[in-house]
Amino acid sequence: MKTASYAAQSATSPMAPHTIERRELRPDDVGIEILYCGVCHSDLHMARNDWGRAMYPVVPGHEIVGRVTAIGPDVKKFKLGDHVAVGCFVDSCQHCDQCHHGNEHMCREILTETYNGRDRVTGETTYGGYAKHIVVKDDFVLRMPDGLDLARAAPLLCAGITTYSPLRTWNVGPGSRVGVVGLGGLGHMAVKLAVGMGAHVTVLSRSKAKEADALALGADRLLDTSDAKALKAAANGFDVIIDTVPVKHDINPYIPLLDIDATLVLVGQLGNMDELFTVPAIMGRRRIAGSMIGGIPETQEMLDFCARRNILPDCEMIRMDQINEAFERMERSDVRYRFVIDMASL
């Protein structure tokens, strides 16, 4: 089936209309009309080949919300008209230990990315959610719970699960002391989700400039990390710190803020970091960890949790033809806090 999309044809060409072919439904496939798609930093990085592995044309988009328009004969979990979602991956080996534990995102045989991946049957390049339709194997389709605002929910599929998973992994609950570094697409979700879990949430920032924003999102306070006195007073004060900053930076100021055995989780920067002074980590058995999205069961759990608690990203809705401007604004952090494309505009 031919479907309209927006694609980058090279690292230097802007996003522009492009027609792609979606595969014929296999017996366990779900055909989805895409209603909304969130705009993630990864979309921009892949379109511009910042990671050196782009396969053009690149059709980005892995925060997908839509409606079921077709199902294969073996599909039992979904019916026509259901509201569904698709996140960062659309297949995995489904037989390794990680897949068996619902950790498909850490599949030993590597997950199949929603875009710029290789279909496990045909080897064809996968195309993402900047399109009218997508076809996805049923086990990798999520159910949108009733009551979740479809127009705002799309960013939960990447930004939401990326921050929900470490909060759950490190057992955040009522009374947990959680710090969040970086207040962008990921950081603002980390604040909302941790608040929803009952934690005491502090935004860690290099100035007081974002204090009003932090409090508006539900955080209890903002800690100015340029204030040496405040930093000293906050020592040993956190059970978990989620660091969402997507560029090389200095994590040294955060380690002494962790309590004994507490953990700093990196979810933003893929690549090098500033040099680490190890003493605070060694002295307090403090940990530095990483985390990436989440598996299918945990992603469904996150959607259900957000529906129950009415937790939604703060979004700015755009038309498909505004995507190039949105990329530029995203680079300047000029968005609160996530762009979502209304696919009716394509």
| Identity of the residue, 106 or 215, whose beta carbon is nearer to Zn ion in the bound complex | 106
C-beta closer to Zn ion: residue 158 or 190: 158
Q: How far is the CB of 278 from Zn ion (least distance, A)?
A: 31
The pattern of x and - marking residues 145 through 164 that bind Zn ion according to CB under 5 A reads -------------x------
Closest CA to 146 of 303, 311, 315, 313: 303
Query: What is the four-CA torsion angle of 153, 43, 61, 264, rounded to 10 degrees?
Result: -40
CB of 98 to Zn ion, least distance (A): 5
Select from 84-92, 145-153, 170-178, 243-251 the region that touches Zn ion (CB under 5 A).
84-92
Nearer to Zn ion, 89 or 254 (CB): 89
Least Cβ distance, residue 38 to Zn ion (angstroms):
8
Residue 148: beta bridge partners?
Answer: none
Radius of gyration of the chain (CA): 20
CB of 155 to Zn ion, least distance (A): 9
Q: Give least dist CB 325 to Zn ion, A.
A: 19
Please, what sign has the CA dihedral across residues 49, 51, 53, 59? Answer: negative
Cβ proximity of 340 and 155 under 8 Å: yes
Residue choice 8, 107, 172, 323 for contact with Zn ion (CB under 5 A): 107
**Which H/E stretch holds residue 5?**
strand 2-7
Based on the shown chain and the rule CB under 5 A, indicate whether residue 42 belongs to the binding site for Zn ion: yes
Count of residues that bind Zn ion according to CB under 5 A = 8
Which CB atom, from 115 or from 254, has the smaller least distance to Zn ion?
115
Angle between helices 296-309 and 159-169 (to 10 degrees): 100
Q: How far is the CB of 48 from Zn ion (least distance, A)?
A: 15
- For 264-312, give the DSSP string: EEE-S--S-------HHHHHTT-EEEE-----HHHHHHHHHHHHHHT--
Classify the C-alpha dihedral 241-246-248-249 as positive or negative: negative
* Preceding omega of 337 cis (within 30 degrees of 0): yes
Only one of the segments 85-93, 117-125, 212-220, 228-236 lies at the binding site for Zn ion (rule: CB under 5 A); that segment is: 85-93
Closest approach of Zn ion to the CB of residue 282, in Å: 34
Q: Mask 86-105, x = binds Zn ion (CB under 5 A)?
A: ------xx--x--x------
From 38-46, 77-85, 235-243, 258-266, give the range in contact with Zn ion by CB under 5 A.
Answer: 38-46
302 binds Zn ion, rule: CB under 5 A: no
> Least distance to Zn ion from the beta carbon of 314, Å?
16
Residue 21: Cβ within 10 Å count: 10
Distance CA 214, CA 48 (A): 31
- Is 30:141 a contact under the CB 8 Å cutoff? yes
Instruction: Between 26 and 120, name the residue whose CB sits nearer to Zn ion.
Output: 120
Closest approach of Zn ion to the CB of residue 198, in Å: 27
Q: Environment class of residue 23 by beta-carbon count within 10 Å: exposed (0-12), middle (13-18) or buried (19+)? A: middle
Q: Which is nearer to Zn ion, 61 or 196 (CB)?
A: 61
* Interface with Zn ion, residue 59, by CB under 5 A: no
Read off the amino acid at residue 77.
K
CA-CA distance, 322 to 318, in Å (whole number)?
6
- Does residue 273 belong to the site contacting Zn ion (CB under 5 A)? no
Give the residues lining the site for Zn ion (CB under 5 A): 40, 42, 92-93, 96, 99, 107, 158
